[in-house]
Structure 1
Amino acid sequence: MVLAGRAPVRAPQNRRSGGAVRKTARIAAVATIAALSLAACGERPTDEPETATETPTATETEPAEQFPDFKACMVSDSGGFDDKSFNQTSHAGLEAAAEKLGVQTAEVESQSPSEFDDNIAEMVSQGCNSITTVGFLLGDATLKSAKKNKDISYSIVDFAYEKAPANVKGLTFNTAEPSFLAGYLAAAKSETGVVGTFGGLNIPTVTIFMTGFHQGVQRYNEDNGADVKVIGWDPAKPKAGSFTNDFESKTIGQQTAEEMITQGADVIFPVAGPAGLGGLQAAQDNDAWGIWVDTDGCVSAEEYCDILLTSVVKGMDVAVEQAITDAASGTFSNELYVGTLENGGVSLAEFGPNADVDDELAAELEELKAGIIDGSITVG
């Protein structure tokens, strides 16, 4: 696949003479560039050790069957289903299943981790046939409920069990791959030679983005004899990373990004859900670039589209819809969902309208993508 991007008049890749000048220079003319696919990866959670295998990322055609007696339910992580990030994208999968399959639905939003057990129990009490939980932090609560209710199919976004029960399916995403491409792009666009990233919590499903981003910057430096620095994350020093310890406070995210901008960062890559919107706000206020996560920011957070270089996208909606489809049709299994650039489970969204990505840089990103897919470039 190719990335339908926008190719404005080319601007210098590593120099900027000031905020007003850059915003004038970044007037976009629309054209077609290259597209990067979606995907996901992980281990196969069965009772016997096995290697990971990939499963289909989407229903190829609308199912002929309808399942009006089947009830598909969902429990969110904190942040709610309007977080413009992973909860909202996962919820779109539930809505798609309801539309295509005719299933009944129920849902509950979690305000804090202390509510996870009770919220899942509420879905059980409502007679749900499948329950999807959204987020790494729901791993323990999901497993506990699944062991008690073996007649219910459970799927969980962003969590993999070493030995999953037969009724539990993990939906994971190797976001390090498109984040690598985003890091390379960020380094190419930086004029200060400093880019920044921060997370909501120091957990694997957050730091996987940050590690891929860091590695992409290092690859740019290696290929171009550059010395672009990453502040906020170094995989070799994980305890020193920058985290808001909050996925909800836009104010904290904005303050974190502003600190990075004062240190010279002119590209901000927040991996913090709604708190990350504060990072985009800081970038917009300070004439810096932003890169969004989980979904295409020019769609979910369009108020910041003018400063977005791109977004690192996870196909959570597609994976959730497929898991519900499998449960309703009787083909559900505990085989771990694996998304990668190769199978389309993760991707780099089209370039922002003002990103000024020229053909040469777009071609470099395509070559890197191909290298990741064929294994010649190791990411993560």
Structure 2
Amino acid sequence: MTFTTKRAAVSGLALVGAAALLAGCAAAPEESTEGSGEVLDFLPCMVSDAGGFEDKSFNQLGFEGLQAAADELGVEYKAVESAAETDYASNLSSLVDQGCNTIVTVGFLLAPAALESALANPDIAYVSIDDTVDQDFDGTTDAENIEPIIFDTAQAAFLAGYLSAGVSQTGVVGTFGGMNIPTVSIFMDGFAQGVDFYNSENGTAVKVLGWDRAAGDGSFTGGFEANDGARQIAQGLIDQNVDVLLPVGGPIYQSAAAAITDSGREIALIGVDADVYVTDPSVGPLLLTSILKGIDVGVHEAIVEAGNGNFDPTPFVGTLENEGVGIAPFHDWEEKVPAELASKLDDLKAQIVSGDIEVESYLAQ
């Protein structure tokens, strides 16, 4: 599968952090919100995945990109939330009926509904976050009016895994996800690869619980809600002596944070998508780092391009090289991370970019 790195604006995860500063006060609209400035004849729209626009993570980053683009273009926008997979098709149909010119679908699970809508409405531009919309698996997007924006987060997760192994005192780290789909498991697998690499370099035997690379399976909640089920899975990992925990799936980190707090132990939490230290200060003291995806920057540029008549369906994949993915600062953990370990992460990033270290993923070229 061939992708390009055409979007220079994505090479700036510092922008992700800056946008996230507004996250605490960002409210999700049910219908439309008006931008400012000169109004174009252009209506950008968005459909969320489960979790909603206030998940302080994946959907929220997409929504912030929509807001920023609409403001820059001086147009209104429409955004609708999906509570379940059964909402996808009807939400898309509603936006088509309301005259949307560009529709962003936030999430891997929306791909089938996005494809059906795109094929039925070839004059509308679609932007698919986290899926190439290649339902026939021939290596190309299945509709000419869909632009995929995807992220090889295994590369950044590799760094987080190496870091976790380096700071672990118990020699046991853990991860769990919302659903076993590629955009979730890519974090977990990259994390495990980083731990394995640390072990091979340092002669250690740090264990990873919650993900089995050989089986391609692990611990999953079955959804993306911060509920008792997610908390029980986190507790089960904590009971096995983990002292670093990576929950992958939007709000489920909140359940992990609650379990960590109740344990009374020093257990580091790793966030995903956004810098969770910024988007959710309530869990800030627990966070070792976050594995970042430049969703907001990618959405912003795709909508601005479309609004200016320059929609480009060429797929984009975020990597460490173009800074579409990365890891957040250590924040409150800064003094607990040895300088030598922090410096090593910089070296590892350079080796991944150069190709000297190959991180396996379904998006690896």
1:274-323 alpha-carbon deviations (Å, 9 max, x no partner): 12221122223322110000000111121111011100010000000111
> Which of 298, 304, 310 is the aligned partner of 2:283?
304
4+ residue runs of structure 1 moved beyond 3 angstroms? none
Shift of 1:72: 0.4
- 1:228 to 2:228 alignment: no
Contact 1:284 1:304 in 2 (8 A): no
1:236 counterpart letter in structure 2:
A
Q: What residue identity is the alignment partner of 2:62?
A: S
Between 139-148 and 271-280, the greater mean CA deviation after superposition: 271-280
Q: Tell me how large the CA RMSD over aligned residues is.
A: 1.5
Matched, 1:185 2:163: yes
In structure 1, what residue type is equivalent to 2:212? D
Q: Does 1:276 align with 2:253?
A: yes
Distance apart, 1:100 and its partner CA: 1.1
Moved more, 145-154 or 328-337: 328-337
**In structure 1, the residue corresponding to 2:205 is in which secondary structure?**
coil
**1:58 partner SS:** helix
Task: Work out whether 1:195 is the aligned partner of 2:195.
Answer: no
Paired residue secondary structure (2:173)? strand
Aligned residue in 2 for 1:58:
9
Residue of 242, 246, 269 corresponding to 1:290: 269
Q: Distance in 1 between matches of 2:304 and 2:330?
A: 32
Change (3 A) 1:111 1:57: farther
**2:210 maps to amino acid:** G
CA distance, structure 2, for counterparts of residue 283 and residue 378 of structure 1: 33
User: Is 2:147 aligned against 1:175?
Assistant: no
Structure 2: how far apart are the matches of 1:58 and 1:118? 32
2:195 aligned partner, one-letter code: V
2:59 pairs with 1:79: no
Take 1:257 and 1:132, find their aligned partners in 2: how far apart are those partners? Answer: 32
1:344 maps to a residue whose letter is E
Distance in 1 of aligned mates of 2:116 and 2:248: 28
Contact 1:268 1:280 in 2 (8 A): no
- Give the CA deviation at 1:59: 7.8
Partner of 1:347: 326
- TM-score when normalising by structure 2: 0.87
The offset of 1:354, in angstroms, is 2.8
Using a 3 Å threshold, how does the CA distance of structure 1 residues 171 and 191 change in structure 2: closer, same or farther?
same
Number of aligned residue pairs: give it: 326
Alignment of 1:236-247 (within 5 A): 236-239=214-217, 241-247=218-224
Kindly provide the amino acid, as one letter, of the partner of residue 371 in structure 1: Q
CA distance in structure 1 between the aligned counterparts of 2:128 and 2:39, rounded to whole angstroms? 22
Structure 1 unaligned spans of 5+: 1-42, 44-50
Residue 367 of structure 1, aligned match among 347, 355, 361: 347
For 1:136, give the aligned amino acid.
F
Paired position in structure 2 for 1:258: 235
Distance in 2 between the 1:354 and 1:250 partners?
A: 27
Corresponding residue number in structure 2 for 1:98: 70
Gaps of 5+ in 2: 12-36, 135-139, 361-365
Task: Kindly provide the amino acid, as one letter, of the partner of residue 339 in structure 1.
Answer: G
Show the counterpart of 1:11: none
Aligned amino acid, residue 113 of structure 1? E
* SS of the residue 1:80 aligns to: coil
> Do the aligned partners of 2:162 and 2:198 also contact (CA within 8 Å) in 1?
yes
8 Å Cα contact 2:147-2:313 kept in structure 1:
yes
Name the amino acid aligned to 2:230. Answer: G
- Render the CA deviation track for 1:174-232: whole Å, top value 9, x for unaligned: 00011000001111111111000001000000000001000000011111110000000
CA drift at 1:68: 2.6
